[in-house]
Amino acid sequence: MLKVWNYISGKGNMVVSSRDILAVLASVIGFFHAVLLVFFWIFDIYHMVAANVISIIVYWVCYRAAKKE
């Protein structure tokens, strides 16, 4: 448990930056929206398909901005 706390608090050997966390969150949420896009496409809910396309683009831009040095 001490190793986990050191990792979270930044005292350990490996430190995760807020940009890394944002990049992971953007990719996970973007993937979730891609799954929703397929679901809505199958059930012919095209206005939600359009909304999810926009969401995926926004999360892709967020991911690219987080990975940019």
Write the pLDDT tens digit of every residue in 1-32. 566 666 667 676 666 778 888 888 999 999 99
In 1-69, where do the E strands start and end? none
d(CA 8, CA 55) in angstroms, rounded, equals 30
Reading the block at residue 16, the tokens are 């995760």
What is the model's pLDDT at position 57? 97
Note the residue count of the chain: 69
Classify residue 43 by its DSSP letter: T
Q: Which pLDDT belongs to residue 18?
A: 81
Residue 8's pLDDT is 67
pTM: 0.75
Work out the mean pLDDT of the chain and round it to a whole number. Answer: 87
Predicted local distance difference test score (pLDDT) of residue 54? 97
Count of CB atoms situated within 10 Å of the CB of 30: 19
Segments making up each domain of the chain, as ranges: 14-67
